[in-house]
Amino acid sequence: MAEIAVDTVSELRKSFEGEVSLPGSSSYDEAVRIWNGAVTRRPAVVASCTTAGDVVAALEVARREGLELSVRGGGHNYAGNALCEGGMMIDLTPMKTVTVDVEAQRATCGGGTTWGEFDAATQAHGLAVPGGFISHTGVAGLTLGGGIGWLSRLAGLSSDNLVGATVVTADGRVLKASGDENPDLFWAIRGGGGNFGVVTEFEFGLHQVGPLVHLGLFLFSPEHGRDLFRFAREFVRDLPDESQVFLAGLNAPPEPFVPEELQLSPVFGLVVVGLGDAETHQRLIAPIKDSLSPIVELVTPIPYVDLQQMFDASAPWGLHSYEKAIYVDDLTDGVIDAIVEHQAKKMSPLSFVPIFNFGGAFRRVDEEDTAFGGSRDTGYAINISATTPSPEEFDAERSWVRDYWSALLPHASGSGGYVNFMTEYDEDRVRNSYGAKYERLQQIKAAFDPDNVFHLNPNIKPA
Ligand SMILES: Cc1cc2nc3c(=O)[nH]c(=O)nc-3n(C[C@H](O)[C@H](O)[C@H](O)COP(=O)(O)OP(=O)(O)OC[C@H]3O[C@@H](n4cnc5c(N)ncnc54)[C@H](O)[C@@H]3O)c2cc1C
């Protein structure tokens, strides 16, 4: 690991309100602990920022010294982009302030906030923004790449609900980005990832949600996989915006609602969440019980904050993980065959394949309104995720992901995918994900980061 000059560190500390940490300190160890334990890069220095001014100071030093730069929001990224090797990590973890303006139905949060922290603050007022399915994910990375969650049929992606942001650009300017100020930058950060600067504050429009919502969780034995997916294909067609469907290939969780003999056995899952009234939810899920044969069901009202944390235990920190995702327009028979065949080859009980359905408000956002990498006509994102507790089993599980992905490719809308579900950034795949938007993103990248300082991401090459 490259060492950093003592003078450089002391100089940064002089103009810095946050903490500057070096290897060997506990603050360094804490800051470089990210979600994916397979990523072992070690920055030479961590600048834990408390203000936009700290980010400006850190950037200035990193650029002058020619240091590789990475940015940490929630540290949840599969590719481990929060960590650079031997350079400087700009750590936004201390910037977690969330403020809620109930009257204006707006909330702001710092660039290091997690969804759990954000939901707690907004749900205190019965309000919410679409976030991710795991509450310890960062608001920053998830929103900048898009943001798919339980509220996506109701209110679109997280990024569709962004109304403004404060961005520190590569040359150290602190800019506001919104529909009125720097609109190109605002367009680019709603899907274009961390390519355009360090976002120190996000401002979202809020929606009334909960606090109680309705859960319908069903598990099926593998031999009923085809029936389930054919059923789901029709089920989602007339789904109201107030409902969201989530499918998965997984091992049954060791939770009390799963009979002991089924715990950890391979299953398929269907989750239907109702954000409206209980009667509508009951009416919607009735055919699942009538025409399919779930081996486990959990139908219950649930606080929205608990729903947001429901899968947290399935995604613990520090394991070895790899993912590759693909978009399909529909669950055609070919897609279903590939899913059922390859799901059976999964080895690690921790690996799982979440399948996100798109519709409702997500579909009604105009294709050109944001930089989101994916068509608004897309039906599903299938995310093949490998997780193993130790490095020994990891290579085989990663091969399983790649084979599964290749089997789905002939049925997909292209080789691109949701950029937040990439562990490797093959240039063609990133370009394909953005399609016709890629050139505009390149122009904006050239305007705000011509030297590609921010390149540890699904990288947009400056025009
Ligand atoms: C278990 C798990 C579940 C997930 N579930 C979902 C889901 O339900 N829906 C969904 O849409 N996605 C989901 N994701 C993907 C998630 O959106 C991405 O991993 C995202 O990158 C995480 O953001 P982060 O801030 O936590 O990550 P980080 O690793 O901190 O950052 C990720 C990227 O964003 C950049 N970045 C971070 N903060 C900033 C900032 N403040 N300013 C500029 N750039 C920044 C980083 O440089 C890096 O390139 C999930 C990921 C995991 C591991």
What percent of the chain lies above the pLDDT cut of 90?
A: 94
What type of residue sits at position 440? R
- SS percent in the chain: helix, strand, coil, step 5: 35, 25, 40
CA-nearest of 162, 147, 207, 197 to 369 is 162
Q: Could you give the number of structural domains in the chain?
A: 3
Same domain flag for 277 and 198: no
Ligand 1 pocket mutation, candidates 144, 196, 445, criterion most atoms within 8 A of CB: 144
Residue that terminates a domain, selected from 91, 120, 137:
91
- For the segment 362-381, the average pLDDT, to the nearest whole number, is 97
CA-nearest of 456, 434, 336, 352 to 400 is 352
CA-nearest of 165, 184, 162 to 175 is 165
Same domain flag for 285 and 360: yes
Instruction: Spell out the residues 6+ positions from residue 327 whose beta carbon is closer than 8 angstroms to its own.
Output: 374, 375, 378, 379, 380, 381, 382, 412, 413, 414, 416, 417, 418
- Tell me the sheet residues that pair with 272: 216, 245
Same domain flag for 300 and 378: yes
What's 326's domain CATH number?
A: 3.40.462.20
- Residue located via tokens 């980061």: 449
Q: Tell me, in angstroms, the distance from the centre of ligand 1 to residue 460's CA.
A: 17
Same domain flag for 135 and 278: no
For residue 429, being part of any structural domain is answered with no
What is the rounded CA–CA span in Å between residue 125 and residue 147?
22
On the CB side of 165, CA atoms within 13 Å amount to: 29
For residue 392, being part of any structural domain is answered with yes
Same domain flag for 117 and 147: yes
- For the segment 442-450, the average pLDDT, to the nearest whole number, is 98
Mean pLDDT, all residues of the chain: 96
- For the segment 128-153, the average pLDDT, to the nearest whole number, is 98
Residue 153, pLDDT > 60, answer yes
Each residue's pLDDT tens digit, 203-232: 999 999 999 999 999 999 999 999 999 999
Instruction: Spell out the residues 6+ positions from residue 133 whose beta carbon is closer than 8 angstroms to its own.
Output: 148, 149, 150, 246, 308, 311, 354
What is the rounded CA–CA span in Å between residue 345 and residue 340?
9
Same domain flag for 191 and 219: no
Same domain flag for 123 and 242: no
What's the pLDDT at 162? 98
Q: Tell me, in angstroms, the distance from the centre of ligand 1 to residue 5's CA.
A: 31
Relative orientation angle of helices 278-291 and 225-235, to the nearest 10 degrees: 140
User: What phi and psi values does residue 438 have, to the nearest 5 degrees?
Assistant: -60, -40
φ/ψ region of 303 (left if φ > 0, alpha if ψ in -120 to 50, else beta) reads: beta
Same domain flag for 277 and 316: yes
- For the segment 1-11, the average pLDDT, to the nearest whole number, is 77
Q: Tell me, in angstroms, the distance from the centre of ligand 1 to residue 179's CA.
A: 24
What's 48's domain CATH number?
A: 3.30.43.10
What percent of the chain lies above the pLDDT cut of 70?
A: 99
What's the pLDDT at 336? 98
What's the pLDDT at 123? 98
Q: Tell me, in angstroms, the distance from the centre of ligand 1 to residue 147's CA.
A: 9
For residue 460, being part of any structural domain is answered with no
- Ligand 1 interacting residues, C-beta cut-off 6 A: 35, 70-78, 81-82, 92, 111, 132-134, 137-138, 140-142, 144-149, 193-194, 198-199, 315, 420, 456-457
Task: Find out whether 210 and 123 touch, Cβ atoms under 8 Å.
Answer: yes
Each residue's pLDDT tens digit, 407-435: 999 999 888 999 999 999 888 999 999 99
Task: Find out whether 421 and 381 touch, Cβ atoms under 8 Å.
Answer: yes
Q: Pull the structure tokens for residue 119.
A: 């939901």
Each residue's pLDDT tens digit, 37-59: 999 999 999 999 999 999 999 99
What is the rounded CA–CA span in Å between residue 445 and residue 194?
11
What type of residue sits at position 343? Q
Task: Find out whether 387 and 320 touch, Cβ atoms under 8 Å.
Answer: yes
- Residue located via tokens 């055919």: 287
On the CB side of 461, CA atoms within 13 Å amount to: 7
Instruction: Spell out the residues 6+ positions from residue 376 whose beta carbon is closer than 8 angstroms to its own.
Output: 358, 362, 363, 364, 365, 366, 367
For residue 453, being part of any structural domain is answered with no
Residue 175, pLDDT > 80, answer yes
Q: Tell me, in angstroms, the distance from the centre of ligand 1 to residue 78's CA.
A: 8
Residue 1, pLDDT > 60, answer no
What's the pLDDT at 161? 98
For residue 205, being part of any structural domain is answered with yes
DSSP structure class, residue 138: B
Ligand 1 atom with least separation from CA of 80? 29
What's the pLDDT at 426? 85
For residue 256, being part of any structural domain is answered with yes
Instruction: Spell out the residues 6+ positions from residue 357 whose beta carbon is closer than 8 angstroms to its own.
Output: 232, 236, 244, 245, 246, 247, 379, 380
Same domain flag for 28 and 121: no
Residue 398, pLDDT > 80, answer yes
For residue 456, being part of any structural domain is answered with no
Residue that terminates a domain, selected from 64, 91, 118:
91
Same domain flag for 255 and 370: yes
Q: What is the dihedral of CA 37, 40, 45, 51, to 10 degrees?
A: -30
What domain range is 164 assigned to? 98-209+438-448
Nearest CA to ligand 1 atom 13: 132
What's the pLDDT at 2? 56
For residue 461, being part of any structural domain is answered with no
Residue 3, pLDDT > 80, answer no
Instruction: Spell out the residues 6+ positions from residue 148 whose beta carbon is closer than 8 angstroms to its own.
Output: 130, 132, 133, 157, 356, 358, 381, 418
Same domain flag for 72 and 137: no
Q: Tell me, in angstroms, the distance from the centre of ligand 1 to residue 390's CA.
A: 23
Each residue's pLDDT tens digit, 262-298: 999 999 999 999 999 999 999 999 999 888 989 999 9
- For the segment 237-256, the average pLDDT, to the nearest whole number, is 96
What type of residue sits at position 388? T
* Whether the model pTM is above 0.85: yes
Same domain flag for 195 and 250: no
What's 181's domain CATH number?
A: 3.30.465.10
Residue that terminates a domain, selected from 51, 67, 91:
91
What's the pLDDT at 44? 96
On the CB side of 238, CA atoms within 13 Å amount to: 6
What's the pLDDT at 414? 86
Q: Are strands 45-48 and 88-91 parallel, antiparallel or unpaired?
A: parallel
